[in-house]
A and B are shown apart, each in its own frame.
Chain A
Amino acid sequence: MTAKATETAQTAETAQTPETAQTASAAETARTASAAETGATHEIRPAAVEVHDVHKWYGTHHVLDGVELTVRPGEVTVILGPSGSGKSTLLRVINHLEKPEIGHVSLNGELIGVRRHGERLKELSERVILAQRGRIGFVFQNFNLFPHLTVLDNVAAAPVATGRLTKPEAQKLARDLLARVGLADKAAAYPRQLSGGQQQRVAIARALALRPGVILFDEPTSALDPELVGEVLAVIKDLAGSGTTLVIVTHEIGFAREIADRVVFMDEGRIVEQGPPAQVLDHPDNERTRDFLSKVL
């Protein structure tokens, strides 16, 4: 798999043929066993994410200051840090919603948003970038569901629009995914008729409909009433168990401890500490981490 991934890194044009990567190996199929309940339509092939020396400025503010991050396939990474530390920006750089000024991101070794041009990196066309985003799920803090479409159409839109599935296939997939997040009975509803927690679960189903190798969560529970947080975390926990690569920005320390394979602590645009949750959360080396944890715990 790694060999194949490096091959694809050479030419970014291969981004248009993600389907070739859909055939999962037997080992991976076994790992996604819990996802397989919803049928063969939903195989997840976890992806590796690499962030290499990424710098990003907003005006004169250095939001990301040389971030290096490697996420292994199937790993659950939780990013913590005070507000303004660049967590959300880092997440948005991974799917190229924000363009880094220096550095690059790669998914399974394939560059995202740019291609190698001799010794330099050159920006890809919007069409290719959009195709690449089809392999990266993104869940927003404010859900950002499409209010004029039914829940079913929200989930089925992307596979149809990108031509990966026919409309009936996409709707079948959407129903399976809605059942998986516990909202099978809400298919015909409009997003604003749902509670915040339900909307966020629809948003997760919508991200899953891409069959992404990695799903990025940008503070998925921050906009929710406290009693609705649990239902969303339960869905994310289920995903973590299914072997999908997850990168989660959150303030739920207890949740991080429970599901993270690795906790990354960011401050002032830099990753100051990372490691297993037991280490980072209970015995942090860094003073900033200690300081932050003492405030939130």
Chain B
Amino acid sequence: MSESPGIAVSSGAAPPTEAILRPDTPAAPKPLAAQRVLPLRHPGRWTITAVVLVLVAQIVHGLATNPFFQWDRFQYWFLRPTILDGLLITLEVTVYSAALGLLGGVLLALARLSPSPVLRTVSWIYTWLFRSVPLIVVLLFLYNFSALYRTLSVGVPFGPAFFTFDESRLATDMVVAVVGLSLNEAAYASEVVRGGILSVDQGQHEAASALGLPKRYQFAKIVFPQALRSITPNYVNQLIGLIKGTSLVFYVSLLDLFGSVQSMGSTYPGDIVPLLLVATAWYLILTSVVSVIQFYVERYYSRGALRTLPPTPLQKVRTALRDLRARVRRETAT
């Protein structure tokens, strides 16, 4: 992969190489030490690269020209209000569930790491349960919950109730979806967060403790920020799973991105392929945005962990341009 710029540059470097070897400048050949070292050529690598490029071109060509994909219909549907409404629902469900799931995950991880055996066990059982039950089953359970329990009460078990909710009014489709996804998400997030906390060196806990930092400060300012460095990539992985997992809320009659595509597809059966392409494109966009955010969040939390931070794409472009300019100047000089 990293060789591809090398190919471009070495083809550009060919003329000066010939200039050095050209027989009409023979009189005083340069001493060996003063000559630029010729980089090793890789003909095998070039051949494979060429084959891959041809294959990629074929796929792109097929995608663009095959009438089966109906790109005009794709264009028609891409920004339709029904689709955008669905997209909005997908975003809402994702954001709420990601936030609640992470919060739940942190609490579950702290419970799992606490000295109390009861908290540890409860946390373990929760994680075990929700990692075992498929998300769709959880969602359908919750959807039918209001049939099982007409009212929800907060109070003493077997004793008086303090608050009572009318379940049918409380449990909108959105609430069911967010609760279901959050419950599921928290179980996975708890393991991600726990792994992150465990990855922080024991010496950090000791140093924070020896300085007499208050317990809450120790966690919020010393341990958790360092844990976030390893939590981030794992949680983003989880988050991308969640974005796609939201397509299941269609089964609790919430019209998210996938839901609207499905319902439009049944109304316009001829457009099902372009509609699926629209959904694919939007999911791709969402995932890409998350990946870009991930890069910068990771970079932020690796401050201090790395001696030099990885360059941002913009910095990479700038360095590449500067190097290229320097190279051209060097070669035009010889």
Contacts and interface: CB of A to CB of B under 8 A. Distances in A.
Interface of A: 95, 97, 126-127, 130-134, 136, 138, 140, 142, 144-150, 157-158, 161-162, 190-193, 206-207, 210
Contact of A133 (B211, B217, B305, B306): B211
B226 A147 contact: yes
B303 interface: yes
Nearest to A148: B304
Contact of A148 (B203, B208, B211, B305): B305
A18 to B, nearest CB: 10
A157 B304 contact: no
B209 A130 contact: yes
Nearest to A159: B211
Interface string B180-219: 0000000000000000000001011011111111110100
A213 B307 CA distance: 35
A32 to B, nearest CB: 22
B222 interface: yes
Interface in B293-332: 301, 303-307
Interface string B223-254: 00110010000000000000000000000000
A259 B141 CA distance: 73
Contact of A146 (B207, B209, B212): B207
A10 B307 CA distance: 50
B211 to A, nearest CB: 4
A42 B276 CA distance: 69
A133 B212 contact: yes
B209 A148 contact: no
A148 B206 contact: no
Interface of B: 201, 203-204, 206-215, 217, 221-222, 225-226, 229, 301, 303-307
Contact of B226 (A97, A148, A157, A210): A148
Nearest to A18: B212
B203 A146 contact: no
B204 A162 contact: no
Contacts of B229: 148
A136 B213 CA distance: 12
A207 to B, nearest CB: 8
A226 B256 CA distance: 65
A146 B222 contact: yes
Given A144-B204, A157-B221, A133 B209 contact: yes
Question: Which one of B211, B221, B226, B301 has the highest number of Cβ atoms from chain A below 10 Å of its Cβ?
Answer: B211
Contacts of B301: 148
B211 A157 contact: yes
B235 to A, nearest CB: 18
Contacts, number: 79
A30 to B, nearest CB: 28
Contacts of B217: 161
A210 B211 contact: yes
A265 to B, nearest CB: 25
A136 B209 CA distance: 11
Contacts of A130: 209, 212-215
Contact of B209 (A97, A131, A161, A210): A97
Contacts of A157: 211, 213, 221
A109 B208 CA distance: 25
Contacts of A144: 201, 203-204, 206-207
A191 B201 CA distance: 15
B304 A192 contact: yes
A292 to B, nearest CB: 28
11 contacts: A127-B215, A130-B214, A131-B212, A136-B210, A138-B211, A146-B208, A146-B222, A148-B303, A150-B304, A162-B213, A191-B304
Contacts of B208: 146
A148 B225 contact: yes
B209 A142 contact: no
Given A158-B212, A162-B213, 12 more contacts: A97-B206, A97-B210, A133-B210, A133-B211, A134-B211, A138-B210, A140-B206, A148-B225, A161-B211, A191-B304, A206-B211, A207-B211
B203 A161 contact: no
Contacts of B212: 130-134, 158, 162, 210
Given A161-B221, A162-B214, A190 B303 contact: yes
Question: Which one of A127, A138, A144, A150 has the highest number of Cβ atoms from chain B below 10 Å of its Cβ?
Answer: A144
A237 to B, nearest CB: 22
A126 B208 CA distance: 13
A174 to B, nearest CB: 13
Given A140-B203, A144-B206, A147-B226, A192 B307 contact: yes
A143 to B, nearest CB: 8
A95 B307 CA distance: 33
